[in-house]
């Protein structure tokens, strides 16, 4: 259950990145010319990175319980470890995810 909560929060965070990037591009016209291009680039990158990561984080809600899904989910946890604000949630989740009971739940041998 906690992985689903984590994945849902990651989807919301990446959707926020998409919205924030689009807002940066939209409001860039109100700034002076010297700052406009920087906002266009940063907003575009933020929005473009948010799209695939939100999709990748949403897919575990639709996957069955298979051994490869355990690996996919641990990769999602590892992606969260790259952000210092996600580490407090990712470390306990990673410790739990490596337990033999969880591996057996997904059909992997411990």
Residue 110 placed within a domain: no
Domain range for 12 is 2-105
Q: Are 60 and 76 in contact (CB under 8 A)?
A: yes
Residue 60 placed within a domain: yes
Question: Distances from the Cα of 109 to the Cαs of 52, 100, 104, in angstroms?
Answer: 31, 8, 6
Residue 30 placed within a domain: yes
Looking at residue 102, its pLDDT comes to 87
Looking at residue 110, its pLDDT comes to 66
Question: Within 10 Å of residue 102's Cβ, how many Cβ atoms?
Answer: 16
Looking at residue 65, its pLDDT comes to 86
Domain count, the chain: 1
Q: Are 79 and 36 in contact (CB under 8 A)?
A: no
Interatomic CA distance for residues 16 and 105, integer angstroms: 32
Looking at residue 23, its pLDDT comes to 92
Read off the pLDDT of residues 18-32 as tens digits, 9 standing for 90 and up.
999 999 989 888 878
Looking at residue 48, its pLDDT comes to 94
Where the chain has pLDDT below 70, the residues are 110
Residue 73 placed within a domain: yes
Q: Are 15 and 30 in contact (CB under 8 A)?
A: no
């Amino acid at each position: 259950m906690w992985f689903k909560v984590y994945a849902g929060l990651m989807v919301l965070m990446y959707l926020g990145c998409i919205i924030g990037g689009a807002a940066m591009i939209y409001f860039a016209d109100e700034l002076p010319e010297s700052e406009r291009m920087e906002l266009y680039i940063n907003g575009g990158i933020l929005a473009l990175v948010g799209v695939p990561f939100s999709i990748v984080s949403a897919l575990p809600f639709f996957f069955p319980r298979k051994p490869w899904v355990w690996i996919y989910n641990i990769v999602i946890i590892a992606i969260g470890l790259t952000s210092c604000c996600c580490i407090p949630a990712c470390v306990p989740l990673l410790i739990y995810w490596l337990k033999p009971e969880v591996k057996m739940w997904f059909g992997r041998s411990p």
